[in-house]
Structures are given as structure tokens and as C-alpha cells.
Amino acid sequence: MSRIGIVSLYTLQEVRRDRLFWGFVPLIFVVVAFSFFMRETTFVAGAEAFNRSYIALTTLAATVFIVLLVVSSMYREIDSKAIYMVITKPLSRYEYILGKFIAFSFISVGIIVIFFSGAVMLRVGPVKPLAVHYILTTFEQSIMIMAAMTITLGLRSLPSTILGVAGFYIIGHSTKKMVDIGVEMAKGWVPLLKVFYYIFPSLSFFNAQEAVLEQKPVSWSDILFPAGYAGVYLAILFLILAIDIRKRDF
């Protein structure tokens, strides 16, 4: 097995014994219970309230959960100096990053599969739009994992890291709205605003919630642009992290 695979394997071993990881089980119950609560307490279109709530909450819960796992695991490794034992072995710092990223991506895919299966069983929407939505969520999660790793390794302070990752997520979901407002208010600035649109993380690409709820037609090709965007954004984040970690004194 390659050294990247070894780092991934033991990261998974550690995470699966982490109490935080098992917090996922009550989280599922909370999400489903809250969605039922929304259905029962909404007078009009109760089923739609349930579906809307389930999709929004699963997307948010999956992201918050994976980010917490990444930050806590990486921070603990830095704080306890366990990272020193690993990166002084015959592996490069890039291999270490990639190993960690693969392990967390694997967990992320597992979480998304569970939420997707739940959505199908609870008949939240047609299967194909649901599949498209949760595939897009996986892309968003991979960006959030890489961002959380970059910020944790860069800042090495828990409060700053949490603020940094939360800021990244909020900016990611606000960029589109901010650019739309900007386009309305300052038409001359449209080209510049469009540049901002792509430079800042635009996490609104990774959402097919409306297609699920309004049963709009979706095609697999709807995934292509977000996949490309996610790939480019991941490469940029990896480059930032790689440059930072290569030149960093531990």
C-alpha cells in the first residue's frame, strides 16, 4: 500500500473510534425528527415543508459534521505533536495531506449515501434529482474538507480555525447573492463582479434543492460544470495548502 493509503487507513481507524464520529447517529434522528416537526406544525403544504426541511438540514448537518471531524482530528494531531511522528517518516508532506483528504472524503461520501438513502425511503422527491442534489453536496463537502484542512494547518489555533471555516462557508453561500445585488446596483462593474463570483468560493453551485422540490427535469450533465468548478477549486486550495505546508516550520 502506498504511504498516502497508509495515512488514510489509520486516519479512518482513528475516526471510527472517535466519540464525535458516533455523534452522527443521534444527528440523523434529530434531522428526521425536526423535519417531521416542520410537517406537523406547518398548516399549508406539510409534505413540502418536510421535504424542504429534510434536504436543507441534511446538507447543512453533513457539512457541519464533516468539518467538525476534520478540524478536531487535525487539530488534535497538531496539538499532541502526533503529526511530528508522521511527517518525519519517509513520506512527503503532500502525501500526508492527500492521505488525510482521502480519508475524510471517504467518510463524507458515506454520510451522503446515508442521507440520500433516507431521502429515497422517505420519498422526499424523485430519485434522479435527489441523486443529482446529493452528488453536488459531495462536491461541496470535498471543498469544505480541503478548506478546513488548509485553515487548520495554517492557523493552528482552534478558535481561529472554527471562525475561519465558518467564514469560508458563509462567504461560499453568500457570494452569489452578493454578486446578484452588485450586478443590480452597479452595472458597469459586472465583469469585475463576475471575476469575484468565480474567485470566491461559490458553494451555491452545489445545490439542486429546487429541482427536487419542484420536480423540475434534471440531467446528469447538470453535474458537469459544478464538478469542473469543484475540481479547479480543490486544486487551488491544495496548491495553497501545499505551498504553505512545504515552507512551514513545525
Partner 1 sequence: MSITIKQLSKLYGNFRALSEINLNIQTGESVGLVGLNGAGKTTLLKTIVGLIVNFDGEVLINNRVGNDREAKSHISFLPEEFSPPLYLTGYDFVSYMLRLYSKGLNKNEVDDFADMLGLQKNILSQPIRTYSKGMRQKLGLLATMLPVTEIVILDEPLSGLDPGARAIVKDAFDTLRKKGKTLFFSSHILTDLEEIADRLVIIHEGKKTFDGTPGKLRLCGGRSLEDAFLQVIRSNQTL
Contacting residues toward partner 1, per CB under 8 A: 1, 3, 6, 10, 13-15, 17-18, 76-77, 80-82, 84-92, 246-250
54 vs 60, 68, 167, CA distance in Å?
A: 10, 21, 24
Please state the three-class secondary structure of 105-149 as a single string: HHHHHHHHHHHHHHHHHCCCCCHHHHHHHHHHHHHHHHHHHHHHH
Closest CA to 133 of 197, 58, 235: 58
CB of 241 to partner 1, least distance (A): 15
- Smallest gap from Cβ 243 to partner 1, in A, equals 12
List, as one string, the DSSP characters of 36-102. Answer: HHHHHH-SS-HHHHHHHHHHHHHHHHHHHHHHHHHHHHHHHHHHTTHHHHHHTSSS-HHHHHHHHHH
Residue number, 80 or 117, with CB nearest to partner 1:
80
Indicate the residue among 37 and 84 with the shorter CB distance to partner 1.
Answer: 84
Q: Which residue is listed with cell 478540524? A: 71
Judged by beta carbon, residue 81 or residue 187, the one nearer partner 1 is 81
Closer residue to partner 1, CB minimum distance, 187 or 247? 247
Q: How far is the CB of 154 from partner 1 (least distance, A)?
A: 16
Q: Measured from the CB of residue 115, what is the shortest distance to partner 1 in angstroms?
A: 24
| Residue with smaller CB distance to partner 1, 77 or 140 | 77
Q: Name the minimum Å distance from CB 245 to partner 1.
A: 10
Taking the least distance from each CB to partner 1, the nearer of 13 and 117 is 13
Min dist. Cβ of residue 10 to partner 1 (A): 4
User: Are 46 and 8 contacting, i.e. CB atoms less than 8 angstroms apart?
Assistant: no
SS3 state of residue 235: helix
